[in-house]
Every structure is written in C-alpha cells, then in structure tokens.
Structure 1
C-alpha cells in the first residue's frame, strides 16, 4: 500500500535537518521500502509498504535518527485518507480554497482537546472532520 509520510519539524540546517532528500530515499529503499519518493526539501515522503502504520513509523523514525541524526515526529496517511480529507472539506463555495488550512493528527482527531482549540483560535472558523481539523 502507498503511504504518505509528513515529517514534522524538518529544518534547513541544525539538529532536524535532512541534508539531502536523495540520501533519505536511499536509506529507506535499502531498508526495504518500495517506490520511495520525496518532495523537494520538505521532508514529505511517499513510499509503499505492507507493514502496518506503527511499524512504518518506528522503522522510518529509527532509520532517520540513526543515519541522519534527526529526531522527527511524523504523520502517516495513505492516498485514500487524503481523498477523504478533500471530499469532506466543509469549506466549499464562498471560501477561498488557498486560505483553507488542514491540521492532520495521527491519532483520532476527536481525542484532542477540541473545545480548548476553538477557544485559542478566536474568530477562526474550525470544523472537525473524521480525519483532520479544517480551519
């Protein structure tokens, strides 16, 4: 199955830097992941694996920490998850699509302290989806 891994906190230099995305592709491919691709220097990875999400997370995290030195958190979704996120977007007509933000969370979005989040964002319109928050 194809998975999209969004590495959190990647920086251009410092302790969370990934010097070359091509090196990241190499180490993930050598570890047995298939069809590994990255998107510019963002830390976004697409790969194929039959492992479950937690196994992928542990394996990718360990590889990056041991081979590159970055201790990064990540969100892993698959193509179907992203299709659902787009389809469930509550901000349709009348909204500027380039102003809609999506907040992804690896766990159940409903487990977050959503009332506190709504209070912290003031006038921002927040909608809770099945897979993410929409702002």
Structure 2
C-alpha cells in the first residue's frame, strides 16, 4: 500500500528542525519501502504492508527516538488523498486562486456542535468546509494574515490537525 504521512509543526519558524536527508536515512530502519520526503514540510510518501495506525506509531516512535520530536503524525492512503482532492468544494476558487486554498486532516471527526459553532466564523473571503476528518479552507486574506490557523481550528474543534496542504 502507498501511504502519505503528514507531520505537524516541523521546520516551522526555526522550531522542531528535522532535516529531510536525516529523516530519509532514519526511515531505512523501518519496515517502509521507497520512502521519500517532500521539500522541508515533513511529508513522507512510502510503501508498507501495515495498517495506518501501525505506520503512525512507527513514525512517531522514530521521531521521538532519533530526533527527540514529539509531533502529531497522520497517515493516509495515497489514493484517499487523490479522492479528497477530487471532491474539493471550492474547486472553482482554486482554479483562479490556488495559493489561497488548502486542505487538512484532523486526528478524529469533530463533534457536530463544535463544527456548527466554528462555521459562524466563515465569511466569503475566509470560508471552510469540514467533511468527516478533512477540512477544506479557502483563505482569501492569505495564510500569513489569517487568525484561522491550525492551532485556532484545533482549539475550537477539540482535534489535532497535523498539517494543511496547499492545493
């Protein structure tokens, strides 16, 4: 199975430094095959004959043991990510302004009441849609200016969101 692992908060503003070359080297000691990383994001693509939970635990343990990092890890099948991109509710906006569009995963499905509360913050220029454990976010003010950061969503929804990827 081909997987994508998303790590929260590595190589951001000089914190949780994780050199990708060292990470790739450390991954050679795992049961993963063909592991590659994506730029300095901490995203990992790999093959494994293991379930998602086991893959998440292996990566979390590796990060702690080799790099003294305790960061959230979410693993998804690569095909699931492709499917998520196909159903993007803001597709017409991404064609015009892809730099303002992202999607992210939560570690669990947020409680409906909390989603309803957070939706009250949605505007025409900063809007989002939560589908199960995935959030699509159109941020017309720009990601450097918004107050709706990963940490903001985590606090409001009571979830962990390791990563937002830009479309």
Q: Deviation of residue 103 (structure 1)?
A: 2.4
Q: State the Cα RMSD in Å.
A: 2.3
Q: Which runs of 4+ in 1 moved over 4 A?
A: 109-112
Q: Deviation of residue 113 (structure 1)?
A: 2.3
Q: Quick one: distance in 1 between partners of 2:111 and 2:82?
A: 20
Q: Deviation of residue 21 (structure 1)?
A: 1.0
Taking structure 1 as the reference length, the TM-score comes to: 0.83
SS at 1:10 equivalent: coil
Residues 11-66 of structure 1: per-residue CA shift (max 9 Å, x gap): 3544x211x21111111111221001001211111111111111111111011101
Q: Deviation of residue 131 (structure 1)?
A: 5.0
Q: Equivalent residues in 2 for 1:1-135 (5 A)?
A: 1-11=1-11, 13-14=14-15, 16-18=16-18, 20-93=19-92, 96-98=96-98, 99-108=100-109, 113-123=114-124, 124-130=126-132, 132-135=134-137
SS at 1:101 equivalent: strand
Question: What residue ranges of structure 1 are gaps of 5+ in the alignment?
Answer: none
Question: What residue ranges of structure 2 are gaps of 5+ in the alignment?
Answer: 138-167
